[in-house]
C-alpha cells in the first residue's frame, strides 16, 4: 500500500496508484466489476453529493452511448452552456473520461483529488469506476457546469452512475454484450439497462422491438416516466461530402438536414436518438434550440468534444479506418459497411477480448477478407493464435501478429492503393493505433 501520497506521487504515479489499488475493468474483466451501489453511495455521501450541483443527462445502451453522449454535449455547448462529459473507457489518456467543454480534467486535479481523499478510499475500497465517477462529479461541481452528460459504465440498474436523478434518460439500443455480468439474452440485458428509467423523468429509446420495447414501456409506465422512441422520427442518409476539409455524412432527420463528421452507417440511428433527446431536453428546460444550433451541434461534435474511434478514417489510399465496435450489434454494422465500399481487397487487423461473444462476432465478418489476427496489450485480450483458431472454423483466414502495430504494418505493407484496411474488434486494439 502506498502512503504519504502528497510527498511521493506525481500525476503519473497517481494514475498508476488508481490502476493498482482499484483494478480496472477494461484491463482485468469481471474481477474489476463491483456489483451494487453501496460503495458509490458511500463516496457520494462523503463528498456531500456533488451531482446535486448541476443537471444531468443519463445515457445507457449497448452500442452508441459514446456517440450520443458526445453529440448531446456538443448541442448543449453550442447553445452556450458549460457542459461536463463523463464517458468510458478511455483510449489513450485516463483524463479522456472527464471533460468540461471538451477539455480534459487537469492532471493536478486528478492528483490532488486522490491525495485529499486517499484515507477514505483506502477505508471503503471502492472500484476504479466508482472513484473515477466520484472524481468527475467533484470536478463538475468545482467547475460549476450547467449540465453533465453521463454515460453508463456497464448495464444500468447497478451501475455507479445510477445514483443520479437526471432530467432526461436515454437508452440507445440493446445487443448481446457482457453476458457474464448482465445476462444471457437481450431481454435480460434490457432489464438491467431499464434500471436507469426514473420516476417522472422522460426517457428516449433509440432502438427497441418486440418484447424489449414492451419491457421498456411497462417500466416507464410503472414509474410514470414519459417514453419516446427515436425510431418514430423519419431518418435517412442523403449523401457524404467534405465540409471545411472534413468528411461528413448528411442526414435528414425529421424536418432537419444535419451534417456529422461521425462516419459509419450505424450513426443514422444514433443521430435520430440525439435529435429526439436534445428536443426533449429543450422542452424540459424550456429553452429554444435553433436549427442553426442543431446543425452546429452535429457538425462540430469532434471539434467540441474530441471524440475518437468511431469509423475514424486514418488514410485514403489505401482506405484505412478504425472503429471501436466490439460486439454482435456493432460488428453487424461494420461488416455491412466494409462490403459497401469499393475495393480490391479487404484487410482486417482484428483482436478481441476473451470475455466477449467471440464466436458469434467472427461469424459476421466477411469470409473473403485477409486477416491479421492480433491482441491488445491488456490482460483480457484473447491470444492471437487462439483467435485465429476460432476464426478458421468460421472460414476466416490469415496470420498471427503479437502486437497491433506489427499487424497493422504487415497489412499496410501488403495493401494496394485500392484496398481497405480495417482495424477493430476491440476498443483496446483501436487505442493502440491512435
Same domain, 294 and 259: yes
Q: Which among 254, 284, 305 is the end of a domain?
A: 305
Same domain, 374 and 290: no
**Element spanning 240, H or E:** strand 235-243
How confident is the prediction for the chain on average, in pLDDT?
A: 91
Burial class (CB in 10 A: 0-12, 13-18, 19+), 28: middle
Same domain, 137 and 50: yes
The edge-to-edge listing of strands for the beta sheet with 319-322 is 312-316, 319-322, 420-424, 346-350, 370-373, 397-400
Q: How far apart are CA 264 and CA 311, in angstroms?
A: 5
Say if strands 203-205 and 168-171 run parallel, antiparallel, or are unpaired: parallel
Same domain, 238 and 340: no
Same domain, 60 and 112: yes
State the cell numbers at 82: 458549460
Q: Angle 200-141-137 (CA atoms, 0-180°, nearest 5)?
A: 70
pLDDT tens digits, residue range 366-419?
Answer: 999 999 999 999 888 999 999 999 999 999 999 999 999 999 999 999 999 999
Same domain, 281 and 317: no
**What SS3 class is residue 10?**
coil
Same domain, 200 and 171: yes
pLDDT tens digits, residue range 53-71?
Answer: 999 999 999 889 999 999 9
Is it the case that residue 25 has pLDDT exceeding 50? no
CA 139 to chain centre: 20
Is it the case that residue 29 has pLDDT exceeding 60? no
Same domain, 241 and 130: yes
Q: Which among 305, 327, 352 is the end of a domain?
A: 305
State the cell numbers at 389: 483458431
Is it the case that residue 200 has pLDDT exceeding 50? yes
Q: Could you tell me if 313 and 320 are in contact, meaning their C-beta atoms sit under 8 angstroms apart?
A: yes
Same domain, 342 and 203: no
The count of other CB atoms within 10 Å of the CB of residue 157 is 16
Mean pLDDT lowest for which of 75-84, 88-97, 184-193?
184-193
User: Residue 218's pLDDT is what?
Assistant: 96
**CATH code for the domain of 21:** 3.40.1190.10
Q: How far apart are CA 169 and CA 191, in angstroms?
A: 15
Same domain, 320 and 223: no
User: Residue 65's pLDDT is what?
Assistant: 93
Burial class (CB in 10 A: 0-12, 13-18, 19+), 222: exposed
How far CA 291 is from CA of 53, 72, 231, 313, in Å, comes to: 29, 15, 21, 28
**CATH code for the domain of 416:** 3.90.190.20
Same domain, 106 and 215: yes
Q: How far apart are CA 38 and CA 158, in angstroms?
A: 10
pTM above 0.85, yes or no: yes
Which DSSP category does 353 fall into? B
User: Residue 28's pLDDT is what?
Assistant: 46
List CB contacts of 38: < 8 A, sequence separation 6 or more.
none
Number of structural domains in the chain? 2
CA 408 to chain centre: 24
Q: How far apart are CA 67 and CA 332, in angstroms?
A: 17
The stretch 8-20 carries a mean pLDDT of: 88
How far CA 380 is from CA of 142, 383, 392, in Å, comes to: 35, 9, 21
Same domain, 49 and 149: yes
Q: Which among 250, 272, 305 is the end of a domain?
A: 305
**What SS3 class is residue 215?**
helix
Q: Could you tell me if 148 and 56 are in contact, meaning their C-beta atoms sit under 8 angstroms apart?
A: yes
Determine the angle formed by the axes of helices 128-143 and 107-124, rounding to 10 degrees. 130
pLDDT tens digits, residue range 326-350?
Answer: 888 889 989 999 999 999 999 999 9
142 cis-preceded (ω within 30 degrees of 0): no
The boundaries of the domain holding residue 397 are: 312-431
β-bridge mates for residue 103, sequence order? 100
**What SS3 class is residue 225?**
coil
pLDDT tens digits, residue range 287-324?
Answer: 988 899 999 999 999 999 999 998 999 999 999 999 99
User: Residue 34's pLDDT is what?
Assistant: 55
Amino acid at each position: 500500500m502506498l502512503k504519504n501520497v502528497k510527498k511521493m506521487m506525481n500525476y503519473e504515479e497517481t494514475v498508476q496508484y488508481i490502476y493498482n489499488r482499484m483494478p480496472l475493468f477494461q484491463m482485468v474483466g469481471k474481477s474489476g466489476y463491483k456489483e451494487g451501489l453501496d460503495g458509490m453511495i458511500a463516496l457520494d455521501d462523503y463528498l456531500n453529493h456533488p451531482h446535486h450541483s448541476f443537471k444531468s443527462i443519463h445515457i445507457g445502451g449497448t452500442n452508441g452511448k459514446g456517440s450520443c453522449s458526445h453529440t448531446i454535449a456538443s448541442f448543449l455547448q453550442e447553445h452556450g452552456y458549460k457542459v461536463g462529459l463523463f464517458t468510458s473507457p478511455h483510449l489513450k489518456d485516463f483524463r479522456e473520461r472527464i471533460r468540461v467543454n471538451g477539455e480534459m480534467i487537469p492532471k493536478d486535479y486528478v492528483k490532488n483529488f486522490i491525495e485529499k481523499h486517499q484515507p477514505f478510499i483506502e477505508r471503503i475500497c471502492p472500484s476504479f469506476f466508482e472513484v473515477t465517477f466520484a472524481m468527475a462529479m467533484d470536478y463538475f461541481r468545482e467547475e460549476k457546469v450547467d449540465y453533465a452528460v453521463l454515460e453508463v459504465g456497464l448495464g444500468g440498474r447497478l451501475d455507479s452512475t445510477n445514483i443520479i436523478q437526471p432530467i432526461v434518460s436515454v437508452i440507445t439500443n440493446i445487443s448481446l454484450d457482457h453476458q457474464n455480468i448482465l445476462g444471457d439474452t437481450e431481454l435480460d440485458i434490457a432489464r438491467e439497462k431499464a434500471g436507469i428509467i426514473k420516476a417522472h423523468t422522460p426517457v428516449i429509446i433509440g432502438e427497441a422491438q418486440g418484447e424489449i420495447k414492451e419491457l421498456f414501456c411497462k417500466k416507464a409506465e410503472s414509474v410514470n416516466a414519459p417514453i419516446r422512441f427515436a425510431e418514430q422520427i423519419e431518418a435517412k442518409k442523403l449523401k457524404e461530402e467534405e465540409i471545411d476539409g472534413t468528411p461528413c455524412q448528411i442526414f435528414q432527420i425529421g424536418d432537419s438536414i444535419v451534417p456529422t463528421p461521425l462516419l459509419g452507417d450505424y450513426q443514422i440511428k444514433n443521430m435520430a436518438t440525439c435529435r429526439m433527446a436534445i428536443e426533449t431536453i429543450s422542452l424540459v428546460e424550456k429553452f429554444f434550440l435553433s436549427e442553426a444550433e442543431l446543425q452546429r451541434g452535429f457538425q462540430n461534435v469532434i471539434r467540441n468534444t474530441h471524440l475518437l474511434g468511431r469509423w475514424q478514417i486514418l488514410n485514403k489510399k489505401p482506405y484505412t479506418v478504425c472503429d471501436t465496435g466490439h460486439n454482435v450489434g456493432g460488428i453487424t454494422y461494420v461488416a455491412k459497411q466494409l462490403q459497401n465500399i469499393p475495393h480490391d481487397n479487404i484487410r482486417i487487423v482484428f483482436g478481441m477480448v476473451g470475455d466477449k461473444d467471440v464466436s458469434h462476432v467472427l461469424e459476421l465478418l466477411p469470409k473473403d477478407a485477409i486477416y491479421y489476427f492480433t491482441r491488445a496489450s491488456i490482460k483480457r485480450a484473447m491470444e492471437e493464435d487462439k483467435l485465429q483458431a476460432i476464426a478458421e472454423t468460421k472460414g476466416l483466414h490469415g496470420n498471427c501478429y503479437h502486437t497491433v502495430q506489427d499487424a497493422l504494418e504487415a497489412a499496410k505493407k501488403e495493401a494496394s492503393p485500392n484496398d481497405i484496411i480495417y482495424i477493430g474488434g476491440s476498443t483496446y486494439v483501436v487505442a493502440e493505433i491512435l
